[in-house]
Amino acid sequence: MAERRPIAARGSGWAQAAARRLAASSVTPNQISASSMGFAALAFACFWLTRPAGPLLEALLLVAAALFCQLRLIANLLDGMVALEGGKGGPTGPFWNEAPDRVADVLILAGLGLACGLFWLGCLAGALAVGTAYVRELGRAEGLAADFCGPMAKPHRMAAVTAGCVAGAVEALATGTQWALLATLCLVALGTAATALRRSVRLIRALSLRA
């Protein structure tokens, strides 16, 4: 049964070195997992503060939000590496591997909704993100391999939000508008809905074939 999301960066030199250092320290995988919520909360704060900000501050906040989104992904990468390759996994690891991710998704996507003036759409995108994970975990509970298919799985969502933040920062400085953020949020919401639907269809098909 597939238990880990296939991530190319897992084999990179910097990730291996960082995981070794963390494994040799007193930091636990669960603490690394929990830190992803902290980074997501900082991204949310950056998005929230863009609303009354001027163009320069808004651009800086969006760049910071992009950075925190990437730090959230790095935490998601390193927690598993420290737990498995570093031999520091514990009995509560499965909870900490999943629960902080759901909180982080909602914080980042709701924050993006705040930044572009459509908080409801950000919350909807966050709910859809939670839904994709639910379908994946439902499949695993039924003894199937974890389904990490897209088109808008977690790494794709964070890549889109990061790119949208950078484009939004440039747009804020150039025109003072935020069409890039709106387009990003719409793309993520639609793509995440398509992902939830695709995973659901694949799960139903797999369960039907097993019967």
> DSSP letter string over 79-130?
HHHHHHTTS---TTHHHHHHHHHHHHHHHHHHHHHHHTT-HHHHHHHHHHHH
- pLDDT tens-digit series, residues 9-31: 888 889 899 999 999 999 999 99
- pLDDT tens-digit series, residues 194-207: 999 999 999 999 99
Is 50 exceeded by the pLDDT of residue 1? no
Q: What is the pLDDT of residue 3?
A: 67
Is 70 exceeded by the pLDDT of residue 187? yes
Is 90 exceeded by the pLDDT of residue 4? no
For the chain, list the domains and their CATH numbers.
9-210 (1.20.120.1760)
Choose between 61 and 2: higher pLDDT: 61
- Read off the pLDDT of each residue in 90-97 and give the average, rounded to a whole number: 90
Q: How far is CA 42 from the centre of its chain?
A: 14
Choose between 198 and 86: higher pLDDT: 198
Q: What is the pLDDT of residue 15?
A: 87
Least confident of 19-23, 132-136, 184-188, 192-196: 19-23
Is 90 exceeded by the pLDDT of residue 128? yes
Choose between 3 and 76: higher pLDDT: 76
Q: What is the pLDDT of residue 211?
A: 66
Mean pLDDT of the chain: 93
Q: What is the pLDDT of residue 2?
A: 43
- Read off the pLDDT of each residue in 164-189 and give the average, rounded to a whole number: 96
Is 90 exceeded by the pLDDT of residue 111? yes
Burial 86-123 (b: 16+ CB within 10 A, else e): bebbeeebeebbeebbebbbbbbbbbbbbbbebeebbe
Is 80 exceeded by the pLDDT of residue 102? yes
CB 139 within 8 A of CB 203: yes
The closest of 157, 175, 56 to 111, measured between CA atoms, is 157
Is 80 exceeded by the pLDDT of residue 98? yes
